[in-house]
Amino acid sequence: MLERHFHTVRTEAPGLEEPAGTRERLRDAFPRGATRRMSQLGMLLGSVLGDCGPTGEDTIVYASAYAETRALEAYLASFPTPSPTLFQTSIHPSAVQQVCVARQLPVRAFFPHAGGAQLVAHALRTAMLAPSHRTLLCGGEERGTWLLERGHASAETFAFAVALSRERAGAVGTLSLEATGDEDGELALPRFFSALHQRRPLAQRAAPGLTVTLKWH
């Protein structure tokens, strides 16, 4: 069984807050002017990752099913004169990159996961196999507009970050991943986020062969 402890967990659940509201609320968390071109998800991840104090030696594992939905929608709307800024912002790992670029934080290893019902299990597997002393597991979604109406975007906006390590002393919780022979299993990102946000325990077959357990101390 793979196991990592966490001393820090941060969540953002802004409800129906629009990007402009997030920008106003979080602008002091970034260098002056940096939020001007940041997506809502980028700002929220900046908020939760900032509390974890990322360093260059950390591994960052990022989980998001839809990632930069608003930038994607806006980029598509910019045709026939596509926007270069929205193009680069629309790529899947952009939210974490916006944060790290704004703060000039190089990182050795960065694993951006997409996916659906097995996303949490696979991102956790990546986090627990990282050889670095500490791994920052983060993720989130931003509420879509026209893609949401079509069922291809998140209905919720949220973000989280958990700093995982092998240090048990003083930990507030433990995440474990057990290899099983189960042929099925699912644990989508909103449910995992909800457990972190509400400090609820979790034990679930989360993907074929993988059971996830979240314990609070």
Contacting other proteins within 77-116 (CB under 8 A): 77, 79-84, 87-94, 97-98, 100-101, 104-116
> Smallest distance, Å, CB 94 to other proteins?
7
Stretch that binds other proteins, among 5-13, 27-35, 155-163, 175-183 (CB under 8 A): 175-183
User: Which residue, 28 or 183, is less far from other proteins as judged by CB?
Assistant: 183
Distance of closest approach, residue 130 Cβ to other proteins, in angstroms: 8
Total number of residues that touch other proteins (CB under 8 A): 64
Strand 59-63 to strand 135-141: parallel, antiparallel, or no bridges (unpaired)? Answer: parallel
Cα distances from 145 to residues 70, 87, 138, in angstroms, run: 7, 18, 23
Under rule CB under 8 A, residue 76 binds other proteins: yes
Q: Out of 208, 213, 215, 216, which residue is the one contacting other proteins (CB under 8 A)?
A: 208
- For the bound state, the minimum distance from the C-beta of residue 42 to other proteins, rounded and expressed in Å, comes to 11
Contact map string, positions 43 to 62, toward other proteins, x by CB under 8 A: --------------x-----
Q: Per CB under 8 A, does 29 bind other proteins?
A: no
Q: How many other CB atoms sit within 10 Å of the CB of residue 177?
A: 21
Min CB(16)–other proteins separation in Å? 22
Strand order in the sheet with 59-63: 59-63, 135-141, 158-165, 2-12, 173-179, 210-216, 202-207
C-alpha gyration radius of the chain? 17
| DSSP, residue by residue, 159-176 | EEEEEEES--TT-SEEEE
CA distances from residue 36 to 30, 39, 85 in whole angstroms, order as listed: 10, 9, 12
131 counts as binding other proteins under rule CB under 8 A: yes
**CA distance linking residue 92 with residue 62, whole number of Å:** 10
Per CB under 8 A, 163 contacts other proteins: no
Is residue 155 near other proteins by the rule CB under 8 A? no
